[in-house]
Structures are given as C-alpha cells and as structure tokens.
Amino acid sequence: MFAFFRPVLLVVGILTLIMTGLMSCVALFAFWRGDPELSVFLISAAIAGGAGLTLVLLGRQARFHLVARQLYLLTSLSWLGMSLVGALPLFFSHFQLSFVDAVFEAVSGITTTGSTVLSGLEQLPPSLLLWRSMLQWLGGLGVIGMAVSILPFLRVGGMRLFHTESSDWSDKSIPRIQTLARLLVAIYLCISLACMLAYWLAGMNLFDAINHAMTTVSTGGYATDDRSMGRFDERVLWVAIVFMLLGALPFTLIIAFVQRPRLALLSNSQVMALLSVVAVVSLLLSAFLVWNGELPLFSALTQATFNLVSVITTTGYASADYTQWGAFSVALFFVVMFIGGCSGSTSGGMKVFRFQLSYLFLRSQIRKLVHPSGVFVTRYNGKTVQDDIILSAVAFSFLFFLTLAVLTLLLALLGLDLVTSLSAAATALTNVGPGLGDIVGPAGNFQPLPSTAKWLLCFGMLLGRLELLTMMVLFTPMFWRG
C-alpha cells in the first residue's frame, strides 16, 4: 500500500520545497525592508523545508509511473498541502490570526478565490502583502498546469474535450509535458511582467504594481488596501480589465498565437463566447446605470465593465460597492458569478465551454423531439463531440448545483441569512471572492463568519478549484478498493 503513496508523497514534498524557496525569497525581501515579520518567514521556511525534505525522502524512488487513481490523490493533496504550508507565515505572524483564519486566507489565496478575513490591509507589513500575492500567482500557474495536463487525462467534467498529447501521462509523453510546462511558465511570467509594467505606467507605485500584477493575471483578486481597486483612477481599471481577460483565456491558445500569430486562433468558440458575454452584459449594465442617473456615461462604462469582468473572470476585485446599484445589478452580478473563464485559464467558475455544451445538448434533444428518427452530430470548435463528453459536462453541472445547495443549507444551519449563505457558497465554489450582502459583499469581509462556516468554505474553495469530481472521488469506497 505504501508503494501506492510514494509518488504522491514525492511530488507533494517537491511542491513543499518550492513553497519553502518562495518563503525564503520573501524573508530576503523582509530583511531588505527591515520588516518585523522576518523571523516569521524564517521559522515558517524551516518548518516547511523540514516537512518537504521528509516527504521527498519517504517518496524517493528510481522510477515511477503515475496512474489515474494516484493522480486524483496527488492533485487533491497537492492543493491541500500548499494551502497548509501557505498558512504558516499568516499563523505565526504578529497579528495573531487564529489557525482557521490563517488557513482560510491561504486556501483563498492558493485557489485564487480572493475572499479575505483580513482588514486594514494598508497597515499590514509589506512582506505579508507580498506573500498573499505570491500565493495567488503560484496558484494561478498551478491551475493552468492542472487544466491542460491532468484534468483532461482524468476526464473530469467534459475536460476530455481539450485532451492533447500533453495530457498523456505515459513515460513517452514526459518530454512533451516538460516542454509545455516551460512554455506555460514563460508565457505566464511574460504576461505578469507586462501587467506590472502597465500598472506602473498607469500610475501605481512599484510595490502595488508588482502585487496587483500577480493577483490580476492569476485572476485572484487580493489587493494591498481594503478599498481594493477603488482607490485607483480609470486608467488603472482599464489596464486591469485587459489583463483579467488575458488571464481568463486558454493559455495554450496564447502560446499557439505567440508561436504562430494567426487571427483564426482568436475565433475559438470559448474565446468568442466569453468576449461576447462580457461586451453584452457590460453595455447592458452601463445603460442601466446611466438611465438611473447613477454615473455619467464613461464612468458608468468603466465601473460596469471593470466589476463585471472581475466577477466573470472570477478575479474578485471591486472598484465600487455594486450591491448599492439596485436589485437588478445585484441579480445580474449573482448570475454572472457562475460563468467563469475559459478552460486552460486561471479562472474558476463553471467555465464557458460547459454552458456551450449544455446548449448543444439541449438543442440536440429538441431536434430529436421533432425528428425522433434523425441522427444529429454535435460539433464544437469544428470537431465532433462524443456523447460521453457532453454527459460528463452535464453530470458536472448537476454535481455543482447539488453541492451549492448542500453548502448553502449547511451555512444557513449555522445561523447565516439566506443571501450570505447562498452567495458565500457560490463564491467559494466558483472561486470568485466577494459575495453579496453586508457581511461577505464587495464592501464586507469574511472575518465575522463562524469558524465552522470558514472550514466549510475552505472545503468549497478547494472543491471548486479542483473541478469537484477530482476531490469528490476520494470520498467513494470504490476509489480505495482500487
């Protein structure tokens, strides 16, 4: 049985050592700035380094071949392990966060959700602000790698639609996976640097530009101030809009475009659907704000587009309390919270392609009602879609809303009102960040929630980031029987 766990322990140990290296970098930054949290990062790095080295020694072997069951376990334990390690500096910090608050903040960071229990962010030491941003940046990179290499192989929720040779975990495919990984890291780093430069040129100071670049490209949404992006002018907001959308696009498509620029690549069904939704909904909300006299035309367009893109891409920034714009706006933001970005991006949510597959499935069923003997072929992006892929996407959608209902009921059982319970559950599963209402809304904070509620939301954030089925399968007896 231990042989089954050895490769899993090895990879989790390596990831823990990577986290240790990042902590050491922040410790150097703290030393340079004379930051009082220097000792916190040194202690955390020592603990994480010892744990990572132990796991690597336990899992070390000359050669191993990962099978599907190990990948399910590896994926879940990797995200759980990184969250726990990421919580160490927060827990040991001089701000005396409780263990549940430290874990909540770290899980929210590493899953690029962006919900926070911290307030007075502008008063936090720069090292802690940088660490929160690095958690999201690392989480965003992990999301892309998982979406293009592991999830299609595991056939999770229709992801097989995007199966490529990089999703083959046989020995012969390892060089291809390594090549893809290098390209993903290079593109992700270049976009992050471009975002940082654009923010700096738009008026941010260098520290803010670095932090917000990491949390924008990762569609994470952590900010360095309680006002989120509300303290910046419209130039900064439009820069954020561009890079949030870039983070929500398939990174394999961006790589293909960089290698061989062709406009045909931009006609991808997911991309066109995402951009169309953003354009239509932003114009609709802008018109509503102008009609009600809330804002002048350009300000309405800026605020509406920024906040909608932030929610649709599951970034979670806010430049205004949009819950004050009226019932229609609140309902609109709640609906678009479920959309998400494209597959193979840093975004969470349901993903655009699942809505498209569900529509194709519905259209096919209507056609069969009219022509019972007809044979209809479902095509997506010019390719024939097998029935099992559509059924997998439908099954995922059913599980998503079932989980949403259960999580909402559990939160309500703890005494939370309906709006808080439903929106907190939704924002956790979609990895958006802010919910609705006075407590968890864009002007609120998750700190007042009971500890049990925070643990439930941590579980929800991990479920949402791992596409539900990847983690749910671990709770079935069949998985452990092999």
Which residues does 338 contact at the CB level (< 8 Å), separation at least 6?
349, 350, 426, 430
Q: What pLDDT is attached to residue 62?
A: 57
Measured CA to CA, the distance from residue 357 to residue 359 in angstroms comes to: 5
Q: What is the pLDDT of residues 180-195, one digit of tens each?
A: 888 899 999 999 999 9
Q: How confident is the model at residue 51 (pLDDT cuts 50, 70, 90)?
A: very high
> Over 90: is that where the pLDDT of 243 sits?
yes
Cα–Cα distances in angstroms (integers) from residue 20 to residues 53, 85, 109, 121, in the given order: 10, 8, 16, 24
Q: What pLDDT is attached to residue 172?
A: 53
Residue 222 lies in a domain: no
Q: What pLDDT is attached to residue 394?
A: 86
Residue 164 lies in a domain: yes
DSSP secondary structure letters along 191-239: HHHHHHHHHHHHT--HHHHHHHHHHHHTT----SSTTTTTTS-HHHHHH
pTM over 0.85: yes
Residue 133 lies in a domain: yes
Listed in order, strand segments (DSSP E) in 227-324 are: none
Q: What pLDDT is attached to residue 275?
A: 94
Q: What pLDDT is attached to residue 463?
A: 95
> CA gyration radius for the chain?
22
Please give the average per-residue pLDDT across 310-320, as a whole number.
Answer: 92
Q: What is the pLDDT of residues 125-152, one digit of tens each?
A: 999 999 999 999 999 998 888 888 788 8
Q: What pLDDT is attached to residue 17?
A: 95
DSSP 8-state symbol, 326: -
DSSP 8-state symbol, 36: T
Please give the average per-residue pLDDT across 367-378, as a whole number.
Answer: 82
Residue 418 lies in a domain: no
Q: What pLDDT is attached to residue 377?
A: 81
Q: What pLDDT is attached to residue 293?
A: 82
Q: How confident is the model at residue 391 (pLDDT cuts 50, 70, 90)?
A: confident
> Over 70: is that where the pLDDT of 264 sits?
no
pLDDT-wise least confident of 96-105, 351-360, 419-428:
351-360
pLDDT-wise least confident of 36-40, 89-93, 381-385, 455-459:
381-385
Q: Are 93 and 128 in contact (CB under 8 A)?
A: yes
Q: What pLDDT is attached to residue 426?
A: 95
Higher pLDDT, 478 or 217: 217
CA quadruple 404, 406, 411, 417: dihedral, nearest 10: 70
Q: What pLDDT is attached to residue 256?
A: 86
CA angle (23 as vertex; 17, 25 as ends), nearest 5: 110
Q: How confident is the model at residue 374 (pLDDT cuts 50, 70, 90)?
A: confident
Residue 88 lies in a domain: yes
Q: What kind and span of H or E run contains 472?
A: helix 469-472
Residue 481 lies in a domain: no
Residue 444 lies in a domain: no
> Over 80: is that where the pLDDT of 153 sits?
no
The amino acid present at 155, given as its one-letter code, is R
- Which residues contribute to the annotated binding site? 112-113, 220, 314-315, 431-432
Q: What pLDDT is attached to residue 26?
A: 95
Q: What is the pLDDT of residues 272-295, one digit of tens each?
A: 999 999 999 999 999 999 998 878
Domain that holds residue 131: 1-173
Please give the average per-residue pLDDT across 31-37, as a whole number.
Answer: 91
Q: Are 345 and 270 in contact (CB under 8 A)?
A: no
Q: What pLDDT is attached to residue 168?
A: 56
Q: What pLDDT is attached to residue 169?
A: 52
Please give the average per-residue pLDDT across 217-221, as a whole number.
Answer: 94
- Indicate the length of the chain as a whole number: 482
Q: What pLDDT is attached to residue 241?
A: 97
Cα–Cα distances in angstroms (integers) from residue 37 to residues 23, 122, 162, 212, 294, in the given order: 11, 15, 44, 21, 43
The amino acid present at 101, given as its one-letter code, is D
- Which residues contribute to the annotated binding site for K(+)? 112-113, 220, 314-315, 431-432
Q: Strand pairing partners for 379?
A: 384
Please give the average per-residue pLDDT across 438-451, as a whole number.
Answer: 90
Tell me how many domains the chain contains: 1
Share of residues in the chain with pLDDT > 90 (%): 58
Q: What pLDDT is attached to residue 315?
A: 94
Residue 137 lies in a domain: yes
CA quadruple 267, 352, 306, 129: dihedral, nearest 10: -110
Tell me what percent of the chain is helix, strand and coil, each rounded to the nearest 5: 70, 0, 30
The chain-wide mean pLDDT, for the chain, equals: 89
> Over 60: is that where the pLDDT of 171 sits?
no
SS (H, E, C) 37-79: CHHHHHHHHHHHHHHHHHHHHHHCCCCCCCCHHHHHHHHHHHH
> Over 60: is that where the pLDDT of 170 sits?
no
Residue closest to 194 by CA, chosen among 257, 242, 136: 242
Cα–Cα distances in angstroms (integers) from residue 414 to residues 229, 411, 421, 432, 463, in the given order: 32, 5, 9, 22, 20
